[in-house]
Copies of this chain bind each other. A is one copy, B any other.
């Protein structure tokens, strides 16, 4: 598959490097709203073409699939435009900032007959696949409590993760992994959610603790922070 990358961020760079190591995949174009930044990124990561607008990348007939590494607030808009351009979509997590947005994105992908995949890469890790298999076999019996926590310390106060307009915050950035793995463990959607948060000055949740109840009887506790020690854990 020939990929275009929309974003010139840190994770987009990792994505480009990873695709260079792949036998089946290749990156053919990168885009930024800033043509100079796109050119630098393309040159740094060995990508043939760069574009100063996302629309230009979507118009590139060679691009078959697009990796969208934009801030959370822009996932829906650019996933839908990518679908309308007839290209497959790998969108960064969290896919959407609301259920309504996610449904619209899904509908756009279906209507244009393209794949829409949320970039929860950990789901494809052999360990995660094995976990899913063991849970499906009820190898540990019924799941009663799921505990998942993910946090780190964000020292750069100008980081997009602290930007409320771009729908930042701990839950959106790292807590979504906890919600996602809890769903894997529970094997179903939650029926109720409770949460408490400590808020950053910018208005986003800096630390959040949530409880999810599942109809099958499991409870999940998820917690996340942008101002704690670095940790990732599931139990």
Binding site for B on A (CB under 8 A): 140, 144-145, 147, 149, 151, 192, 194-198, 207-211, 213, 217, 219-221, 223, 225, 227-229, 235
Contact = CB atoms under 8 A, between A and B. Distances in A.
Contact of A207 (B140, B151, B219, B227): B219
Most buried by B among A195, A220, A225, A235: A235
Given A194-B194, A221-B221, A229-B140, A209 B149 contact: no
B198 A144 contact: yes
Given A209-B211, A219-B209, A227 B196 contact: no
A106 B213 CA distance: 37
A207 B147 contact: no
A210 B149 CA distance: 15
A149 B223 CA distance: 14
Contacts of A195: 211
Given A144-B198, A194-B196, A210-B211, 16 more contacts: A144-B151, A144-B207, A145-B209, A145-B228, A147-B147, A147-B149, A147-B221, A149-B235, A192-B196, A194-B194, A196-B211, A198-B217, A208-B219, A209-B219, A209-B220, A219-B223
A122 B228 CA distance: 26
A147 B223 CA distance: 9
B225 A196 contact: no
A225 B147 CA distance: 13
A147 B194 CA distance: 16
A196 B221 CA distance: 10
Nearest to A193: B196
A229 B221 CA distance: 16
Contacts of A144: 151, 198, 207, 225, 227-228
A201 B99 CA distance: 35
A213 B208 CA distance: 10
A210 B219 CA distance: 10
Nearest to A145: B223
Contact of A209 (B198, B207, B221): B221
Nearest to A224: B145
